[in-house]
Chain A
Amino acid sequence: MSEISTTVAPPLPTATEKLQFYGMWAAAAVVLVLLPHVFGSGGSLTTFSLIGISIIFSLSYNILLGQTGLLSFGHAVYYGLGGFLVIHAINIIGANKLPIPLPVIPLIGGLTGLFFAVLLGWVSTQRSGTAFAMISLGVAELIASSALILRTFFGGEAGVSANRTKLFKIFGWSFGPQIQIYYLIAAWTLIAVIAMYALTRTPLGRMCNAVRDNPERVQFVGYNPHVVRYLAFCFSGFFAGIAGALAAINFEIANSAYLGAQQSGTVLFAAYIGGIGFFIGPIVGAIFVTILSLGLSDLTQVWQLYFGLIFIAVVLFAPGGITGLLMMHRPLVKAGTLRQVLPSYLHALVPTLAMIAGLVLAVETIVHYTVNPGDDSHIKAFGIPFDAASPLIWAISAVLLVGGFLVARKDWVRIREAWDRAGSIEREKDVTA
């Protein structure tokens, strides 16, 4: 190694840093193994399983959006096709008693996703931006509609099902109980996350980012942006297929909903809310969205509405997602100016919460009147009982909503001022350093 690369180039990771890095993955594996011992209920295991599937799916989506700048409205196609093929594969393998155990099956889903991505990807990735989004929508609608026509493969409205316990057993596991499915999903999640992270550290991964930032310049450093996008598309389809396969194994069924617009929309929500600018963003988003959709649906009838409103709020106010919001504070932590902004957050918390409470109250009351007008007006929203028929409720929600907004507005200005102060202090430190 020449003198130039030791003095000029960024330092290579030291042995301790490497140890920390690999240690982190090992720790993650340990956490995954121990998780069921801490949260052992059937419901928790199902939740973890769903989260794992969602993590793989959302990360695969972010290969397109966050890393290569490709907004797809039809990613569920590769997820769904992976799921369908796996169901058929399980049935065929089970019927012919082939010695292929269940843990290998998700690979079949991945290869399915890869196959279709290879097939459809070249023309899909010819353009990026709005054209790509439209093609992805068109292809998705095409395939989703075909699903209802090709009934033998897709099983019509009911879908196709399989029995995952019929396969060749290894370690004596039949994969009937949810705990075994959890370990299967956890293992594949870890493998997939490591693989997708490794991809970002390759020359292809770097050029994906370059294509996202400036496809024109990419041409002038010798790369064909179309090929870069195509390869990203293929990898994305592969991992989406794995996620779809795990979903099919988990539910033992695949139906046209796997391919549909709602599924494509959900993964988009998860990746974006988590934050598409960072690798762990979609992981955070997957956990957040899965828990929210499971939890909210118990608390309120219209959880999907809240979902949509949260998404719009993120697009409007926090386009970097949850991870983006958190990472925004990194320079403040480094400069030690975090305590400049924290008090303003606390100050804004109460009026903002009041505003949200007013909104929720209004929504739930309206829902009561429009959806269940005949029911008893004493309803519970988010576990809090109140009487929807009482005019007091309307007054309270109006006060909370309007009053909360007016007060919160000032506090949001305060937050911005606090950030400005923190920025000035940081710049002063830079100058004097």
Chain B
Amino acid sequence: MSAAIELREIKKSFGNIPILRDINLSVAQGERHALIGPNGAGKSTTFNLISGYFAPTSGSVLLRGEVISGLPPYQINRRGLSRSFQVTNVFANMSVWENLRCAVLWSTGQRYAFWKNVDNLPEVRERTAQILADIHLTKRRDVPAGLLTYAEQRALEIGITVAGGADVILLDEPTAGMSHAETERAVALIRRLTEGRTLLIVEHDMSVVFGLADRISVLVYGQIIASGTPEDIRGNPKVKEAYLGEEAA
């Protein structure tokens, strides 16, 4: 079975400045994989590369064995990969319900239909209602997304990401800025929503990483210095030196 996501000899430079130098990464299907590393290591760049925001300078990105590097984001999304954003990126003027519904429309085959009433599509209603219940925002259904609290917006962000039914999910620092209690709730939500799917997550909160991940890769200055199970990573001297320090979680 081919890997869910595979990066082969990925290099990415902006102008003359190399950000990613020769990255090789493989995430198996159904695996929960965390990408950690200090700020500026290139984690967001890696995400942007995988999701099609830009193309690699050289090397290739594969999704379930198929090359996707160079494809525009919407085509990658249609092939079953979805991502969330570090800075909340929702449709601020639309209600929570409408936000989720937008995320559901393509995968229910609506495409650019201009002859159907969107309120009369039972499958769309079902799916949207299901996600709304899953992310526990039922009470805030009709609130414009721009008026939600920060934690609610992050939950909506995750909801939009998984609503389309993609089986490869990329989450970019989903618990950033959350309190301890909010983080715990978010982790439980993520665990539930990504059941049976492949998850690649960037995180700084080590408790989240070690609690959630099956495997961890450590990115430092654009290179992966270690990749393995949480125990491997915890005990790895290079990782400790570069990132974790002596106080591992």
Contact = CB atoms under 8 A, between A and B. Distances in A.
- Do A and B touch directly, given a CB cutoff of 8 Å in the complex? yes
Interface of A: 1-2, 4-5, 8-10, 12-13, 198-199, 201-207, 209-210, 213-214, 216-225, 227-228, 231, 235
Contacts of A207: 102, 105, 112
A210 B90 CA distance: 9
B119 A213 contact: no
B72 interface: yes
The CB with the most chain B CB atoms within 10 A, among A10, A203, A219, is that of: A203
Contacts of B150: none
Contacts of A218: 74, 102
Nearest to B133: A8
B90 A217 contact: yes
A388 to B, nearest CB: 49
A8 B91 CA distance: 20
B2 interface: no
Interface of B: 51-52, 72-74, 77-78, 82-83, 85, 89-94, 97-98, 101-103, 105-107, 110-119, 121-122, 125-126, 128-130, 132-133, 138, 141-142, 160-161, 163-164
Contacts of B160: 217, 221
B98 A5 contact: no
Nearest to A216: B89
A12 B119 contact: yes
A1 B122 contact: yes
A207 B129 CA distance: 19
A320 to B, nearest CB: 12
A202 B117 contact: yes
Contacts of B91: 209-210, 213-214, 217
The list of the 3 closest CB pairs from A to B, nearest first, reads: A222-B106, A219-B73, A203-B110
Contacts of A204: 112-114
A201 B93 contact: no
A202 B113 contact: yes
Contact of A221 (B102, B114, B117): B102
Contact of B103 (A4, A213, A221): A221
18 contacts: A4-B126, A4-B129, A8-B132, A202-B115, A202-B116, A203-B113, A204-B114, A206-B118, A207-B105, A209-B91, A213-B92, A213-B94, A218-B102, A220-B74, A220-B83, A221-B103, A222-B78, A223-B105
Nearest to B102: A210
Contacts of B89: 214, 216-217
Given A4-B133, A217-B89, A219-B74, A199 B164 contact: no
A13 B120 CA distance: 10
A201 B117 contact: yes
Contacts of B138: 8
A206 B102 contact: yes
A9 B97 CA distance: 8
A427 B24 CA distance: 54
Contacts of B102: 206-207, 210, 218, 221
A214 B116 contact: no
